[in-house]
Amino acid sequence: MSMAAVPPRRDLRRFGDAALLLVAATLAWQALYAFVGDVAITPPLATVENAAALLRSPLFWTHVSTTALAFAVSLAIGAVAGVAAGLALGFHRFSGQVAEPILTALYTLPKVTLYPIVLLVFGLGISAKIAFGVMHGVIPVILITLNAVRNIDPVHLKTARVLNLTPGETALTVLAPAVTPEIFTGLRIGFGLTLLGVIIGEMFASQRGLGFMIINGINMHDVPTMMAVILLIMIFAVVASTALLAVDRRLHRRNS
Amino acid sequence: MNPANPRAGLSAVSTVFPAREGHPAVHALGPVDLDLAAGEFVAVVGPSGCGKTTLLETLAGLTRPTSGSVTFEGRPVAGGVPAGIGVVFQEDASFPWLNVWDNIAFGLRRAGVAAAEIRARVDYAVGFMGLSGFVRAYPAQLSGGMRQRVCIARTLVLQPRLILLDEPFGALDQQTRLLMGDELLRLWRETKASVLLITHAIDEAVMLADRVGIMSARPGRFIELIATGWPAARTSAVVADEAFGRLTARVWSQLRGESLRALGREAPEATEP
Amino acid sequence: MRKVTLVQVLIVAGGIALLELLTREGITDRLTMIPPSQMAAHLWDMARVGALAEPLAHTLGNVAIAFVLSVAVGAAIGFAVHAAPRLRRLADPLLASYYAVPFFVFYPLLIAIFGLNRWPLVMIGFVFGAAAMVIATLNGLDRVPRVLRKVARVHGLGPVAEALRVTLPAAAPHLFTGLKLALAYCFIGVIAGEFILSGEGLGHAIAYAYDSFDNPTMYALMLLVVVLAIGVNASLHLWEQRLIARRRQS
């Protein structure tokens, strides 16, 4: 069924709502600043200016590239390992049943408190940061992938057998499309968590990177820098998540 | 039967669902006129998407028509479901968090009926619907047919004067359906209520009803209302009657063309959001 | 014991035993990791001496308050957003990006607002847990079958009665999941907050031990946190199984 051209009024209204929310948030922010003062936050306009200044500063971009590298590697490892493990545990029922509660229990641990162990094992450097990122993001990916495989409608498998598909063809043409939307959801959730893990890791284990900029800002009471970096991270997180959410929706709609 | 004083009726009822995101407006039903006399059993058949459910929900007061009027016992139906109307839905509407007994007693408790009266009525309904021995079970432990019996019992205890059933046996197998049809007839005779049954099964409609209404493809209108002429004391055994075959054939001959027309359409049946 | 449980117990016991072996044989550096048996022994010593009482009370108190706030506010927001589709469309992307933001950084701001007491930390725990409750509430309300709402109207239930008698019980399993997640996240948020920022509680005690190179204490406390986290979540899980048992298909 093809979607007829979306009535423009709906898009406009959504845009208007989002703009309204933005205005409301900015006003609340300004009010908060009036209440607490310079010691804790910078007001909206000043923060935006500082952020713009950061974007023009080459030093900032070296920090960004450090974080970006760690983030990209964590994401790659987390995604590949997570999906692979999730698939394996999903298809091998017994292993999945054994592993799921253990993974769920691990997930409820405050990972931050295990950081010292990570630092002792990986040392202070990019590998520790990558480890943090993976630690934060991989378990949801595994669990969601596992459930996606479990939830494959058995009728699809029967159809594949009736059509005499080889295991490879079945995997590629029947199973993969069936689980893709849910796996994508897992990756989307893992995305945000991995970012958080890398940034928090940088707050401890690094002399470079966005997380370092933040903790440095806190320690040096350099509120403007700290707020500007947070703003930029938030913008990135919201934009990326919204984009991923849109893809996620598209994938789910196609399947149902 | 007193046709001049129907228990419930629709008059020039028409329903158009307004345009929503990405979907154009849908003229789902009508205009239809239908009168249900007191104690009458009417079945409605029609192709997919013709608005049968909309018809039922409009009569119940769950949906407002775009134009036309709905009356129940002489008073207009607007803004809510009037007391005295019971509805049985196609989907499993039993409350999974209550056992069978509490499910059936639900409406009575909400209506503030005295505890002794509740016990009496629920006991009676349990016995009547063949649910004795299951009163402490939860819906998750019962079969689809049993759950539907629970829903019917829940309606029965409120002693409705009009019972509306929207494809209540759609999810059941044929044999269970036939048995449930007999139970429905028992229920009808016992309660002396007016009954409107929506079904896509022609044999079921012809077997159970005093009158069978045939609806056209969307927007649904009544093409014909056929009187079956069965005696009140009927059971599913009427399928052996020679009139049964003739009536079924007559219904199908009308319905076939409409069904083909409905199949030729792209859009699915519109339902109220 | 079921086969699955047996294997799980073996895996966990085996892991601990392996760790014990590696650390005792000196294969892993004694400075990095101490044997689990030593962790437990040291924890026991600390408990006897009463060194655990204060940080434990502090942490658990913060978690409890944050949890109650998360559930109440989270459920309320969930119900409100569910009832307003326009709000929902706005909220979805925000909820999706929620956990990517390091909320710890607002700690100084929270101190400026609430003062130098437990409330900034409670707020951090709250902020972590509330979103999980909102998401779970939305999920649960989404999954209430539409037919049940129609039944409510047929029985003449007003909106409040419908919410209490039909919507809430129908959504209960998902709401309970929200409860579990909120607790887990409050726990994580409070302890992580204590670790990074604050001067009291279990998290801080771990950070302090790490900075002081006091590995035995650090590991003992980590063990405590692990046991607490698993214990609390497992109890909630078992409770949930009992509550939901009757509603599952048999």
Contact A112 C230 (CB under 8 A): no
DSSP-derived pairing of the beta strands B194-198 and B8-17: unpaired
Is the distance from CB of A193 to CB of A143 less than 8 angstroms? no
CB contact under 8 A, C157 and B106: no
The structural domain count of chain C equals 1
The structure tokens listed for A157 are: 């498998």
User: Which of C100, C29, C67 is CA-nearest to residue C183?
Assistant: C67
Out of 1.10.3720.10, 3.40.50.800, 1.10.1060.10, 2.30.33.40, select the CATH number for domain A56-255: 1.10.3720.10
* Buried b or exposed e, range B28-37, using 16+ CB within 10 angstroms: bbbbbebbbb
Is B265 a residue whose pLDDT tops 70? no
Give Cα separations from C194 to A113, C9, C104 (angstroms).
10, 32, 10
The tens digit of pLDDT for each residue in B142-186 reads: 998 899 999 999 999 999 999 999 999 988 888 888 888 998 999
- Among C88, C154, C168, most B C-beta atoms within 10 A, so best to mutate, is C154
Helix, strand or coil, per DSSP, at residue B8: strand
- C-alpha–C-alpha distance, residues A250 and B20, integer Å: 19
Asked if B124 is an interface residue toward chain C (Cβ–Cβ < 8 A), one would say no
Least Cα distance to B120 among B152, B156, B146 occurs for B156
**Interface with chain A: mutation pick from B21, B23, B265, highest number of A CBs within 10 Å:** B21
Give the distance from residue A30's alpha carbon to the nearest chain C alpha carbon, in angstroms: 13
Q: Which residue has the higher pLDDT, A134 or B218?
A: A134
Per-residue pLDDT of chain C (250 residues; tens, 9 = 90+): 688 889 999 999 999 998 888 888 876 666 677 888 889 999 999 999 988 889 999 999 999 999 999 999 999 999 999 988 888 888 888 888 888 787 877 887 888 888 888 899 999 999 999 999 999 999 999 999 999 999 999 998 988 899 999 999 999 988 998 999 999 999 988 998 888 877 789 999 998 998 888 888 999 999 999 999 889 888 888 888 888 887 876 4
Report d(CA A51, CA C144) in Å as an integer.
Answer: 45
- Of B83, B87, B96, which is closest to C247 when you measure between CB atoms? B96
Given the cut 0.90, state whether the ipTM is greater than it.
no
Domains, chain B: 1-84+161-273 (3.40.50.300), 88-159 (no CATH)
Considering only CB atoms, which chain B residues are within 8 Å of A7? 19, 21-22
Domain presence at residue C28: no
The residue among A86 and A161 whose pLDDT is bigger is A86
Does any domain span residue C106? yes
User: SS3 string of C29-71?
Assistant: CCCCCCCHHHHHHHHHHHHHHCCCHHHHHHHHHHHHHHHHHHH
Helices (H), C84-200: 85-97, 107-114, 119-142, 146-154, 159-162, 168-196
Task: Using CB atoms, pick whichever of A114, A203, A233 lies closest to residue C196.
Answer: A203
- Confidence band, pLDDT 50/70/90 cuts, at residue B267: very low
pLDDT for the residue numbered B266: 45
Instruction: Quick: pLDDT tens for B192-243.
Output: 999 999 998 999 999 999 999 999 988 889 999 999 989 888 888 888 888 9
pLDDT at residue C233, rounded to an integer = 87
What's the gap between Cα B126 and its chain centre? 21
Which among B238, B170, B252, B219 has a CA at the least distance from the CA of B55?
Answer: B219
Choose among C65, C57, C83: nearest CA to C129: C65
Domain span at C60: 38-247
- Rounded Cα–Cα distance for residues A93 and A112 (Å): 32
Tell me, what's the pLDDT at B1?
A: 43
Using CA coordinates, name the residue in chain C closest to B144.
Answer: C249
pLDDT band at B24 (very low <50, low <70, confident <90, very high): confident
Q: Is residue C115 part of a domain?
A: yes
What's the rounded mean pLDDT across residues A225-242?
90
Say which range, A8-12, B36-40, C232-236, has the weakest mean pLDDT.
A8-12
- Residues in chain C within 8 Å Cβ distance of B85: 154
Distance from CA of A94 to the nearest CA of B (A): 26
- Cross-chain Cβ contact C247/B80 below 8 Å: no
Residue A7 has a pLDDT of: 53
Name the residue facing C4 among A36, A98, A117 (closest C-beta).
A98
CB pairs under 8 A between A and B: 11
H/E segment holding residue B197? strand B194-198
Question: Any bridge partners for residue B17, and if so which?
Answer: B26
Residue C23 in any domain: the answer is no
* Per-residue pLDDT at A1: 42
Considering only CB atoms, which residues of chain C are within 8 Å of chain B? Answer: 145, 147-148, 150-151, 153-157, 161, 165-166, 169-170, 172, 246-250
A60 — pLDDT class (breaks 50, 70, 90): very high
Write out pLDDT tens, residues A143-201: 999 999 998 888 888 888 888 888 888 888 888 888 999 999 999 999 999 999 999 88
Mean pLDDT of chain B: 88
- The pLDDT assigned to C192 comes to 87
> Tell me, what CATH number does C69's domain have?
1.10.3720.10
Among A61-75, A201-215, C229-243, name the most confident range. Answer: A61-75
What pLDDT is recorded for position A9? 65
Distance of CA C145 to the CA centre of its chain: 29
